[in-house]
Structure 1
Amino acid sequence: MTEATTTLTRAAIDGVAVEMTDKEFELAAFLFRNLGRLLSRGHLLEAVWGRNPDLATRTVDTHISRVRSKLNLRPENGFRLTPTYNFGYRLEKIDPSESSALGEAAMSPA
């Protein structure tokens, strides 16, 4: 992925529109506005859904999975959306060549 673009109502990857629900779009936009920052599930619930951050829910995790899949947020495409156990998520912009070099190093015999 060379470019990720967001507007008020749609997302596009390299100029190709991606269908997203309103909440998926709001979550993706919030993650991109906070690129590199570790965001708690509670903060995401409050910021995107306007909900009490103390609620026990899998809503954030489910939507994160959908956003990751729909926007193809993978290291080989220049983005990494990683979970932090029992806390939240961080979206990072990375150099795709670094991810392929790490993958090759992991696959080579010791």
Structure 2
Amino acid sequence: MQRVLIIEDERDIADLIGFNLERAGFEVSKAHDGIEGASMALHQCPDLVILDLMLPGKDGFKVFKEIRRDARTREVPVIMLTARAQTEDRIKGLEAGADDYLTKPFSPKELMLRVQAVLKRSEAAPGSVSFEYGPFRFDKNDLKFYLDGEPVDLTSTEFKLLVFLSERAGKPQDRNDLLRTVWGYSDDVHSRTLDTHMKRLRQKLGEHAAMVETVRGIGYCVSSL
């Protein structure tokens, strides 16, 4: 049974999320402030965290940084949840490395689809355990990425996005195909999600950033060697 930690100070919302998760077969735990939430995340090491940003004690971004900084929870996927609907907040969350972002009010059905999509893509990529392409080396078992032999810290979403493109190097990949394969949805509303992750990915690739090309009118492509 997969475990989900809900960090949400509005108890009725936390209970609604928890009810739907338990009905879907998940084990659920809840925290109602940032300090308690960060502690529970580090000690329980859940399979997924649903994290509200407006929390008493410690805000969601600080909690998220603690989760990502600790080796025990670095790879735990996080869905950020907030009443803030402004684009700037969504981008800030995604640039921080969140796996997905959902604004209130939301439908329980949409939340469950997001949960399932995030958990699915956080699993080790299928196929051979190791894959190499130019300066890139992927360890699919542990979701580790190496650039010129040196480890680079990628989120599970960034890892899946880069390995998907690298295994199809030289062939432009359509934006909708990337959204559907990596995130589980393909409508234009989420296009900024893809662009934000590509920006972060290029920053981490440093001098090799140019290998990830934007194909105007189509999507993205890892260049041929």
TM-score, normalising length from structure 2?
Answer: 0.36
Distance 2:160 2:221 in 1: 16
Deviations 1:55-101 (A, max 9, x none): 422011111111122123345xxxx222123421111034xxxxxxx
Aligned to 2:183: 49
Match of 2:169, SS state, is coil
Distance 2:161 2:184 in 1: 12
Q: 1:71 aligns with which of 180, 205, 209?
A: 205
More contact order relative to length (CA 8 Å, sep ≥ 6): 1
Aligned to 1:3: 135
The equivalences for 1:1-110 within 5 A come to 3-8=135-140, 9-51=143-185, 53-57=186-190, 58-72=192-206, 73-75=208-210, 80-94=211-225
Match of 1:44, SS state, is helix
How many residue pairs were aligned? Answer: 88
Which portions of structure 1, spanning 4 or more consecutive aligned residues, are displaced by more than 4 angstroms? none
Say which one has the larger Rg.
2
* AA in 2 matched with 1:5: R
Please list every run of 5 or more consecutive structure 2 residues that lacks an aligned counterpart in the other structure: 1-133
Please list every run of 5 or more consecutive structure 1 residues that lacks an aligned counterpart in the other structure: 95-110
Distance 1:40 1:3 in 2: 24
For the aligned residues, what is the CA RMSD? 1.7
Aligned residues: percent identity?
32
Aligned to 1:107: none
Distance 2:147 2:212 in 1: 16
* AA in 2 matched with 1:6: F
Distance 1:7 1:67 in 2: 17
